[in-house]
Amino acid sequence: MTTLQDLRPTTRERVQDIVDRLGIAMTTKYDWCFSNTGGPYLVNIWHDNMYEENGDIYFVDRTSDWADENRATAIQVQLNRASAVSSLIQTAYYTKAPVNVAILDGTRKTVGLRETSEAKQRELDSVLWYPHHKDKDGRIIVIRGRPQPDDFDPYNEEQQDQKQTPVPPPPNKVEGSGTAIFERDSEIVKAVKQRAVNGCCEFCGKEGFKTASGGFYLEAHHVIPLNCGGPDDVRNVVAICADDHRRAHFGEDRHAVRDRMIWEVLAVHYPNDVAFFEAMDEKSLDIKRSDSGQRKLEDNRIDN
């Protein structure tokens, strides 16, 4: 039987070689997880974040905890990478898909930025891992080599969780604002809301203020406005704080802000869609170049 100790990596495989072997496209080796749309899925997990219990080897997805603890010191791109791990695990959980795990070992920084931890060893585990269930805090447990039972129903499990910790439903509408994402319900806004880790602005990382209904206030913003040819697509929408939203429309640096939103926020979440973001980048340049584009940017403030 394989023990946790057996899994400690002894060699250093290149990220590029691992993703090639799995047939996954990669934009940057610095990401913490990789996938094609619909799989396969690959995450990097530190060996010392794995546990052994009753013959099972497992890890718990704590990336949102990490994001919380490091919000003050981590740069936004790291928080986005953390968020990408969390959404990958959730996707695998809800689609009952297996996860490939590259096991890391090396020098760990004990406090602050995990990004500066250095992986000296990295090996792709030949055995697949499976997201199984959520612990009492809603974190997903991923178990090595043990597929979910046939009757596993992730949606049902979630409903049970909700019954245990009832949350008052948010109102359908917030007076005086058409933009609070926690109060709007389109599929796209819902998806973007899930993506924003713990109600924090995807651009600056600041936590939105708490709303009367118990959510966090963030605003959904189309990076390329719809009236400038931007698509109504999760890959064109960010969940940001009210300050950054004004800045994105009216700031003197709004063109730079837009490009950063494309490349530092959205492209990080969807690493396989480089062509999509290059087209966004083109449109972004068009807005900067044309007076009408800039006027539309200001006009579009309200219904975004």
Which residues are near Zn ion by CB under 5 A?
201, 203-204, 206, 221, 241, 244, 304
* Cα Dmax for the chain: 68
Decide whether 153 or 253 has the Cβ nearer to Zn ion.
Answer: 253
Cβ nearer to Zn ion, comparing 19 with 240? 240
**Residue 125 or 244 having the CB closest to Zn ion:** 244
- Shortest Cβ distance from residue 228 to Zn ion (Å)? 11
Give least dist CB 234 to Zn ion, A.
15
The smaller minimum CB distance to Zn ion, of residues 41 and 203, is found at 203
Contact 179, 304 (CB under 8 A): yes
The amino acid sitting at 93 is Y
CB of 301: closest distance to Zn ion in angstroms?
Answer: 6
| Residue 166 preceded by cis peptide, ω within 30 | no
Shortest distance in whole angstroms from residue 277 CB to Zn ion: 18
Query: How far is residue 228's CA from residue 234's CA, in Å, rounded to a whole number?
Result: 16
In the bound state with Zn ion, the residue whose beta carbon lies nearer, of 47 and 235, is 235
Grouping H, G, I as helix, E, B as strand and the rest as coil, residue 59 is strand
Closest contact distance (angstroms) between CB of 243 and Zn ion is 6
Angle of helix 76-95 relative to helix 154-164, nearest 10 degrees, comes to: 110
CA distance 89 to 251: 36
Query: How many Å apart are CA 278 and CA 262, to the nearest integer?
Result: 9
CB of 241 to Zn ion, least distance (A): 3
- Residue 78 or 304: the one with the smaller Cβ distance to Zn ion is 304
Nearer to Zn ion, 45 or 223 (CB): 223
User: What is the smallest separation between the CB atom of 70 and Zn ion, expressed in angstroms?
Assistant: 17
Residue 302: Cβ-neighbour burial (10 angstroms; 0-12, 13-18, 19+): exposed
Please enumerate in sequence order all residues whose Cβ is within 8 A of that of 87, keeping only pairs 6 or more positions apart, or say none.
Answer: 194, 195, 269
Contact 240, 201 (CB under 8 A): yes
Which is it for the CA torsion 204, 206, 209, 214, positive or negative? positive
Structure tokens that stand for 161 in this block: 């969780």
Determine the Cα–Cα distance for residues 294 and 285; give it in Å rounded to an integer: 11
Q: Give Cβ neighbours of residue 168 (< 8 Å, ≥ 6 apart).
A: 213, 214
- Closest contact distance (angstroms) between CB of 304 and Zn ion is 3
Of 4 and 77, nearer to Zn ion (C-beta) is 77
